[in-house]
Structure 1
């Protein structure tokens, strides 16, 4: 359990909570959240001359302003891959269960997101053109490369 305090324009980059459930509550302020879930079965692109990426679908794209309900991120849905930027000073209470534990496969990974149209895939899935903005390709990265 932890409380994060953010000054205006603070950013938590796109990251995950693998195998974990996260309960979040905005205590004060406003926080736009953009979150993804992995597309199942996994759709990956490993084109020559490119880095590996995996397809994700937009799950949440909204502004959370206190007072508001509790958000729940499940291991496989609800926006477990997410990022946010504080638009006002704000604080968020997070309860993570089980906790991070690298030797149990619960290590936080950071990602860069790319538009659906940025990469082709051998097993190209059919997405209606008007829904392409609901999908993104995510590539794992180090936090200092964001």
Structure 2
């Protein structure tokens, strides 16, 4: 098979190759994206728009997201499971499966780009931006419990017919993902991958009400976020990826 033969190459493979090209030299935090990056990102977004559950050999599940293969010590299957497809230094790619009513809590992606495409079901994604960057940037984790002045940018629902949800280090970087009206699955690309040793650890947050922060001058959609530990009712199991192999 020739590398450029898209007729013989799975769309999952083409997405992975395009992600590799796109995120080889991504703009740094605060930098304006170069034309070449935007063009490659647009190509990746187009490919992600095309991919469907059948391309990954996924079938919608009635009861929930996971198959129960990764249970907690109490024997309860996780609300969310992850299928690993591939990972390089530049990006990671996989599929998240959420049980009916499950949520991936509000969390961040320090210094990372991302792209999310629903495979089946429906998700509601609430996206936030920080209005103030913590001292030291993403490489320096803030103290637990510290407040973040932020703005709620969007609350949108996505299905398999929707285009991808796109995030960048500076835009829609914090988000919460809720399964709506049943189980759901989405393909996910993060670039570069999470790496706590390189300042890219995942932090969780809760939205505080105005009364909780005693702040009366908030503008419309401005909120305060408080960093919290991982919520006890959320954990992520793993299960095998059934789709076409990806070679990079």
TM-score range, shorter chain: 0.7 to 0.9
Equivalence for 1:113:
207
**Aligned-residue offset at 1:69:** 0.3
Return the alpha-carbon distance in structure 2 between the equivalents of residues 22 and 41 of structure 1: 19
Q: Which one of the candidate residues 148, 153, 162 is aligned to 1:59? A: 153
Q: Which one of the candidate residues 146, 155, 165 is aligned to 1:71? A: 165
Q: Structure 2 regions of 5+ residues with no counterpart? A: 1-92, 135-144, 234-248
Q: Which one of the candidate residues 10, 23, 27 is aligned to 2:119? A: 27
Q: Could you say what secondary structure the match of 2:202 adopts? A: coil
Equivalence for 1:83:
176
**Aligned-residue offset at 1:118:** 3.1
Instruction: With the length of structure 1 as denominator, give the TM-score of the two structures.
Output: 0.80
Return the alpha-carbon distance in structure 1 between the equivalents of residues 179 and 108 of structure 2: 18
User: How many residues are aligned here?
Assistant: 130
Q: Structure 1 regions of 5+ residues with no counterpart? A: 43-50
Task: From the two aligned structures, give the one with the greater strand fraction.
Answer: 1
Contact 2:132 2:148 in 1 (8 A): no
Task: From the two aligned structures, give the one with the greater helix fraction.
Answer: 2
**CA offsets per residue over residues 53-105 of structure 1, 9 Å max, x none?**
1111011211112211011110111x211112101211110011101111111
Equivalence for 1:47:
none
Return the alpha-carbon distance in structure 2 between the equivalents of residues 72 and 37 of structure 1: 13
Flag the 1:33–1:4 CA change in 2: closer, same or farther, 3 A: same
Q: Could you say what secondary structure the match of 2:231 adopts? A: helix
Return the index of the structure with the highest Cα Rg: 2
Deviation >6 Å, runs of 4+: none
Return the alpha-carbon distance in structure 1 between the equivalents of residues 133 and 173 of structure 2: 17
The structure, 1 or 2, with the larger RCO (C-alpha pairs under 8 Å, 6+ apart) is 1
Equivalence for 2:230:
143
Equivalence for 1:4:
96
Give the alignment's Cα RMSD to 1 decimal: 2.0
